[in-house]
Amino acid sequence: MSRTVWIVCHDETPDNTVLGVFETQAEAEALADEIQDRFENGVIYFSWVVGTRYDGGTRQFVNQTGRRRTNRAGSR
């Protein structure tokens, strides 16, 4: 059984520092909403399957607030 986590990162530096890791999208989104204004480029959050070593691609979309999000390819 695989486990998925949600990771919140900022987009200010090349290494996209991790700001939090959560069990649910709602928790990740709550943190992103709370702190996005602290970073010029905002924050991103995405799902990740624990144990994954390589991601074959990502997709980006913009929600109604204009905050950029990235999800693993194929996830919703």
Domain ranges of the chain: 4-72
pLDDT surpasses 70 at 58: no
**Binning pLDDT at 50, 70 and 90, where does residue 61 land?**
very low
What are the pLDDT digits (tens) for 1-51? 789 999 999 877 777 689 999 999 999 999 999 999 998 888 889 898 888
Q: pLDDT at position 57, please?
A: 59
Check if the beta carbon of residue 73 is closer than 8 Å to that of residue 56: yes
Q: Letter for the amino acid at 12?
A: E
Q: Please choose, from the candidates 53, 61, 38, 27, the residue with its C-alpha nearest in 3D space to the C-alpha of residue 75.
A: 61
Task: Report how far apart, in Å, the C-alpha atoms of 21 and of each of 48, 53, 61, 66 are.
Answer: 10, 17, 20, 22
